Amino acid sequence: MTTTLAPAAAPTGRGPWQLARAELRRRTSVKISLAVVALFLVMAAAAPLLSRLGGWSPEEFDKTAVDPYLGGQPLGTLGGISADHWLGVEPVTGRDLFARVVHGAQVSLLIAFAATAIVVVAGTAAGIAAGYFGGRTDAVLSRLMDLTMSFPSLIFMIAMMSVAKDVNRIALMTAVIGLFGWPGIARVVRGQTLSLKHREYVDAARVNGSGSWRILTRDILPGVAGPVIAYTTLIIPGMIATEAALSYLGVGVRPPTPSWGQMIAESVAFYDTDPMYFVIPSACLFLTVLAFTLLGDALRDILDPRGSRS
Q: Which residues fall within 8 angstroms of residue 159, CB to CB, at 6 or more apart?
A: none
Alpha carbon distance 112, 280 (integer Å): 20
pTM: 0.84
Strand partners for 67:
73
Let me know: does 286 contact 86? Beta carbons within 8 Å. Answer: no
- Per-10-residue mean pLDDT for the chain, 310 residues long? 43 58 79 91 92 90 87 86 90 91 92 93 94 91 90 83 80 88 91 88 82 86 86 88 87 84 88 88 93 86 60
Alpha carbon distance 82, 108 (integer Å): 26
Q: Which residues fall within 8 angstroms of residue 290, CB to CB, at 6 or more apart?
A: 33, 36, 237
Is the link from the previous residue into 256 a cis peptide, with omega within 30 of 0? yes
Q: Which residues fall within 8 angstroms of residue 122, CB to CB, at 6 or more apart?
A: 178, 182, 186
Alpha carbon distance 306, 245 (integer Å): 32
Alpha carbon distance 253, 231 (integer Å): 27
Residues 264-289 as b/e (b if ≥16 CB within 10 A, e otherwise) read bbbbeebeeebebbbbbbbebbeebb
Going through 73-134 in order, the beta strands assigned E by DSSP cover 73-74
What is the rounded (10 degree) CA torsion for 246, 248, 250, 255?
110
Q: H or E element: which one contains 25? A: helix 16-26
Residue ranges and CATH numbers for the domains of the chain are 25-309 (1.10.3720.10)
- Ranges of H-type helices in 211-274: 212-215, 221-248, 260-267
Q: H or E element: which one contains 184? A: helix 169-196
Alpha carbon distance 193, 185 (integer Å): 12
Let me know: does 226 contact 301? Beta carbons within 8 Å. Answer: no
**What pLDDT score does 16 carry?**
57
∠ CA 107-57-60, rounded to 5°: 115
Let me know: does 235 contact 185? Beta carbons within 8 Å. Answer: yes
Give the 3-state secondary structure percentages of the chain, helix then strand then coil, rounded to 5.
Answer: 75, 0, 25
**What pLDDT score does 15 carry?**
56
Q: How far is CA 174 from the centre of its chain?
A: 12
